[in-house]
Structure 1
Amino acid sequence: MTLAAESVLIVEDEYLIAELLSSMVERMGLTVCGMAATADEAAELARLHQPRIVLMDVRLQGRKDGVDAALAIHAQVGSLVIFVTGSQEPATVARIHLDHPAAILFKPVSYGQLRKTIQDVSA
């Protein structure tokens, strides 16, 4: 199965932030293939939908975090993972780099920042 060229998976446990990201992605003309609040749900949706891009929060519901999900998704699907996080702590940023992220955005994220980042990683 190949990656869905214009498909984006949103992994965010805060409902309002997930909805905002979804709205921004759709405004760009891309398709949101799913939204997940846990690492396991994210990995399952990624296997099912094969998204080109994953917008990934670090802190998620459950005992696994976004880095755990990103590692699984990268290994099984190969999606580009853009981390969208509120934490700029060195330990968190170092953990994010375990997965060779396509990009890291720090919350709050504007439409312009997200659009440019998605364009850059998709080029």
Structure 2
Amino acid sequence: MPAAAIVDVSVAGRDRKSTSWAGTAASGQHSAEPRRPLRVVVVEDDAIIAMELEMMLQDLGVEVLGIATTAAEAIRLVEQHRPDCATMDINIRGERDGISAAIEIYELLGVRSIFATAYGNPETVKRAAPAHPIGWVKKPFEAEDLKSALRQVLKGN
């Protein structure tokens, strides 16, 4: 059984999901609505790191909709699947980096990112601000850090 139980809530007119990591709705009541996991697109160009992140997310009860290695792939996957969020590495393949992809994804589709990177210096954080990031998770990943960032997605922060 996944570590997270997902229940339906409606946020800003869009069907979104919320979780309590103990298996009940955030309000403390069980929902009769069908359950679905939080849906995430992973943007990471290192295959081993991408697989590790995918497994960690799945262990937390998250549905990984796809893995992108470039900004163009990331935008296409988010347009196609409309995830709840994306995990976004900054240094990815191609001419564009993860920050520019995250900004475009947010501006075009309203989908926010969790930056998953070793780069969290003030200049990088400032440059990423237009993407309205959910948070930052440092590499190497820790499950608790991912879980904390996912809670922010579910809270609508």
Q: TM-score, normalised by structure 2?
A: 0.72
- Residue 116 of structure 1 and its aligned partner are, at CA, apart by 1.6
Aligned to 1:14: 46
User: Which structure carries more relative contact order (alpha carbon 8 Å, separation 6+)?
Assistant: 1
Structure 2 unpaired stretches of 5+: 1-13, 18-37
TM-score w.r.t. the length of structure 1 is 0.90
1:34 pairs, out of 66, 88, 104, with 66
Q: CA deviation at 1:91?
A: 2.4
Indicate how the Cα distance of structure 1 residues 95 and 3 shifts in structure 2: closer, same or farther if over 3 A, else same: farther
Q: Say if 2:90 is the partner of 1:58.
A: yes
Q: Distance in 2 between matches of 1:120 and 1:100?
A: 12
Change (3 A) 1:121 1:101: same
Aligned to 2:117: 85
What percentage of aligned pairs have identical amino acids?
34
Secondary structure of the 2:84 match is strand
Q: Deviations over 1:55-114 (max 9, x none)?
A: 000111011001111111112221221101111333222212232211112211201110
Stretches of structure 1 lacking an aligned partner (at least 5 in a row): none
Greater displacement, 70-79 / 10-19: 70-79
Task: Tell me if the contact between 1:3 and 1:51 (Cα under 8 Å) persists in the aligned partners.
Answer: no
Higher share in helix: 1
How many pairs are equivalent?
122
